[in-house]
Amino acid sequence: MSRPVKIGADAALKRLPGWVGGSQGRDVIRRTYAFKDFNSAFGFMTRVALMADKLDHHPEWSNIYNNVEVTLATHDADGVTELDVTLATFMDEAAKGAGAR
């Protein structure tokens, strides 16, 4: 599978409400999701993991109880690509379905 070309965080953020850019000079997009409990957060992560595997594009993320912090970038493009926008859009829809606040 060929990798998408870098579009940059600024271009991606125009299409992704709720997401923010990176810090310390990294070309990434970030978001924190809050769920009602751990089961909802973990269910969200499971759905995203299945999609990430299909896309062969895996997020940097962490989970503390009901919160999931996500950072997306396409490492072999050294920044944000359409692949990140695709996964971010999927995450937003999955979060809604899991009752994210």
Domain layout of the chain by residue ranges? 9-97
Alpha-carbon distance of 17 to 34, in angstroms, equals 16
pLDDT along the chain (101 residues), means of 10: 85 97 91 97 97 96 98 95 97 93 83
Domain 9-97, CATH 3.30.1360.20 — does that match? yes
Q: What is the DSSP letter of 58?
A: -
The sheet with strand 60-64 has its strands ordered as 20-21, 29-34, 67-72, 60-64
pTM of the model: 0.94
Q: What is the pLDDT of residue 3?
A: 66
Alpha-carbon distance of 76 to 93, in angstroms, equals 26
Which of 66, 63, 70 has its CA nearest to residue 87? 70
